[in-house]
Amino acid sequence: MTEEASPPRTDPRQPGEASSIGARFVAGPIDAREIPDAVAIFLEAFHDSAAYVYGEPPRPEAMIDVWSFARSVEPDAFLAARDDDGAVVGYEFLTTSVSALRSAAIRRLAPLRWAWRAVTGRYGIIWPHALRLFANKLSFVRSSGEFRTHGDAQLLNIATAARVRGRGVAGILVRAGLAYLRSRSISELRLEVRPDNVPARAVYERTGFAEVGRTKDAGGEWIVMTVRP
């Protein structure tokens, strides 16, 4: 990584709670104990989407399980940004290979565990909404091989706490992720972003991503971007 990881969060504040204006942010591999903090930031940033599937307020258990699994498969590909006090203020979830991550889940029978927890009510899933979303994502996944020239590395999700947005945290995370991919000799990283997400597009363009095509799902159009790490 280009930046040294800070110690795991021991600060009692909520994720992203006020830090000093001059705070310095660093990024590094997330600690397993910080996954709930990252999920809390996701639920803040994507509240409406999460509530659609997991109810109001959205329950975090499903995401904690899935993200903890993903971190166990490729620990250095799940990054946290931390402030001077060690509080998690953002995260980036990427993989050097979508197909390898999927194969690891199948080998470890993780989808069966998640399905059992879902049907027994642990995740609080609103089933009609979840099934609709699953069908939508399935159609979207079919286009995941388009616009690729090398491998299947993917930036799966990134978000920062509301209190630190506009202060360069997302850029720190993206650059740290690209440094990790270079260390693994990955030659191309892909992501999708909504056309109206202007702040995210600006971060990606500043870190070298370029639009290579467009795809869509039931929610609308996605811009496909790639970069050579």
Q: Which is nearest to 89 in space by CA: 45, 41, 33? A: 41
Residue 37 has pLDDT above 90, yes or no: yes
Q: Do residues 181 and 96 make contact, with C-beta atoms less than 8 angstroms apart?
A: yes
- The secondary structure of 120-168, three-state, reads CCCCCCCHHHHHHHHHHHHHHHCCCCCCCCCCEEEEEEEEECHHHCCCC
84, 24 Cβ separation under 8 angstroms: yes
Q: What 3-state class would DSSP assign to 20? A: coil
- What residues contact 80, with CB distance under 8 A and at least 6 apart? 5, 27, 28, 29, 30, 31, 34, 37, 38, 88, 90, 91
Residue 142 within any structural domain of the chain: yes
6: exposed, middle or buried (C-beta count within 10 Å: 0-12, 13-18, 19+)?
A: buried
pLDDT at residue number 9: 38
CATH of the domain at 130: 3.40.630.30
Q: Go through the chain and tell me how many residues it has.
A: 229
User: Is 50 exceeded by the pLDDT of residue 14?
Assistant: no
Q: What angle do CA 206, 169, 73 make, to 5 degrees?
A: 95
pLDDT of residue 15: 37
| Residue ranges making up the domain that contains 206 | 26-227
Residue 11 lies in a domain: no
Q: So what's the pLDDT on residue 135?
A: 78
Mean pLDDT of the chain: 89
In a domain, 62, yes or no: yes
Place of tokens 């509301």: 162
Q: Is a pLDDT exceeding 90 seen at residue 62?
A: yes
Using one digit for the tens of pLDDT, what is the confidence trace for 97-111? 999 999 999 999 999
Q: Report whether pLDDT(145) > 80.
A: no
Q: Is residue 123 part of a domain?
A: yes
In a domain, 118, yes or no: yes
The answer as to whether 18 is a domain residue is: no
211: which 2 tokens? 């639009």
| Max Cα–Cα distance, the chain, nearest Å | 47
Which pLDDT tens digit goes with each residue over 69-104? 999 999 999 999 999 999 999 999 999 999 999 999
Question: Quick check: is 43 in a domain?
Answer: yes
User: What is the pLDDT averaged over residues 43-68?
Assistant: 96
Total tally of structural domains belonging to the chain: 1
Contact indicator for 217, 194 with CB cutoff of 8 Å: no
Which residues, in sequence order, are bridge partners of residue 193?
A: 223
Spell out where 45-149 has E strands.
Answer: 78-82, 88-95
Global pTM reads 0.87
Q: Specify if 198 maps to a domain.
A: yes
Q: What is the pLDDT of residue 18?
A: 35
Q: Which tokens is 57 given?
A: 């307020």
